[in-house]
A and B are shown apart, each in its own frame.
Chain A
Amino acid sequence: MPPSGAGSSAGFVGPESALLRRRAAWLGGIAVLLLVPVLVRQPYHITICVNLFITIMLTLSMNFVVGFSGQWSFAHAAFFGAGAYIPAILSTKLGVSPWLGFPIGVACVVGAAMLIGIPIVRLRGYYLAVCTLALGFLTEVFVRQATDITGGGYGIQRIPPLELFGTPLRGAAYYPIALAGVVLTGLLLSNLMRSPLGHAIIATRDNPEAASAAGIDVAGVRLFAFVLAAALAGSAGWIHAFYYLGLDGSILTTDRAFLWMFMVFIGGLGRPAGVVLGTVFLVLAPELLGFFAQNQVLWVGILMLAVALFAPRGFGGLLDAAMLRFRPAGRS
Chain B
Amino acid sequence: MTFGSIAQVAASGLHVGCIYALAALSFYVIHSATGILNFVQGECIMVSAVLGVVLLPWMPYPVAMVLSIGATIVLSLLTERLVIRRLEARQADLFIMILSLLGLMIVVRYGTGALFGQEEYMLPGPAGAGVIEIGNSVFLPYQVILIYVVTALTFAAVHVLSKRTWLGRSLRVAAIDPIGATLIGVNLVRVRVVAFGLGGFIAAMVGWLYAPLYAAGYMVGVVPGVKGFIVMVIGGMASPIGSLVGGITLGLVEVATARYFSSLYSDATAFVVLMGVLFLRPEGLIGAKSRA
Contacts and interface: CB of A to CB of B under 8 A. Distances in A.
Q: Are A and B close enough to touch in the complex, i.e. CB under 8 Å? A: yes
A99 B98 CA distance: 40
B272 to A, nearest CB: 7
Interface string A73-84: 000000000000
Contacts of A3: 93, 95-96
Given A138-B268, A145-B264, A312 B90 contact: yes
Given A126-B37, A309-B86, A298 B99 contact: no
B36 to A, nearest CB: 11
Given A125-B94, A130-B274, A134-B275, A298 B83 contact: no
A76 B241 CA distance: 34
A131 B278 contact: yes
Interface in B5-20: none
Interface in B226-246: 226, 229-230, 233
B102 A141 contact: no
Range for the number of chain B residues in contact with chain A: 35 or more
A312 B96 contact: yes
A305 B83 contact: yes
Nearest to A302: B107
B103 A262 contact: yes
A242 interface: no
Contacts of B113: 295, 298
Interface string B98-118: 111011111100110110000
B106 A134 contact: no
A137 B95 contact: no
A291 B201 CA distance: 34
A137 B229 CA distance: 13
Contact of A145 (B107, B267, B282): B267
B265 interface: yes
A203 B268 CA distance: 37
B106 A258 contact: yes
Q: Which of B37, B90, B92, B278 has the most CB of A within 10 A?
A: B278
B233 A308 contact: no
Contact of A1 (B94, B105, B226): B94
A127 B232 CA distance: 12
Interface in A132-153: 134-135, 137-138, 141-142, 145-146
B127 to A, nearest CB: 31
A295 B86 contact: no
B271 A258 contact: no
Contact of A130 (B90, B104, B233, B267): B233
B1 interface: no
B279 interface: yes
A52 interface: no
B100 A305 contact: yes
A309 B233 contact: no
| Chain B interface mostly | helix
B292 interface: yes
Nearest to B263: A145
A138 B269 CA distance: 9
Interface residues of A, number: 38
Contact of A308 (B87, B229, B272): B87
Contact of B106 (A2, A125, A129, A301): A301
B95 A127 contact: no
A261 interface: yes
A137 B226 contact: yes
A301 B96 contact: no
Contact of B98 (A124, A129, A141): A129
Nearest to B107: A301
A123 interface: yes
A145 B265 contact: yes
Contacts of B96: 3, 265, 308, 312
Interface in B46-95: 83, 86-87, 90, 92-95
A127 B278 contact: yes
Nearest to B93: A3
Contacts of A262: 99, 102-103, 106
B292 A126 contact: yes
Nearest to A1: B95
A2 B96 CA distance: 8
B222 to A, nearest CB: 9
A119 interface: yes
Contacts of A255: 106
Contact of B107 (A119, A124, A125, A305): A305
Contacts of B275: 131, 134-135
Nearest to A129: B98
A112 interface: no
A266 B34 CA distance: 26
Contacts of B102: 258, 261-262, 304
19 contacts: A2-B93, A3-B95, A3-B96, A127-B282, A131-B275, A135-B275, A141-B265, A141-B271, A258-B106, A262-B103, A298-B107, A301-B105, A302-B103, A304-B99, A308-B92, A308-B100, A308-B103, A309-B86, A312-B96
7 nearest A-B pairs in the assembled complex, by CB-CB distance:
A301-B106, A298-B110, A304-B103, A308-B100, A145-B264, A134-B271, A138-B271
Interface of B: 37, 83, 86-87, 90, 92-96, 98-100, 102-107, 110-111, 113-114, 226, 229-230, 233, 264-265, 267-268, 271-272, 274-275, 278-279, 282, 292
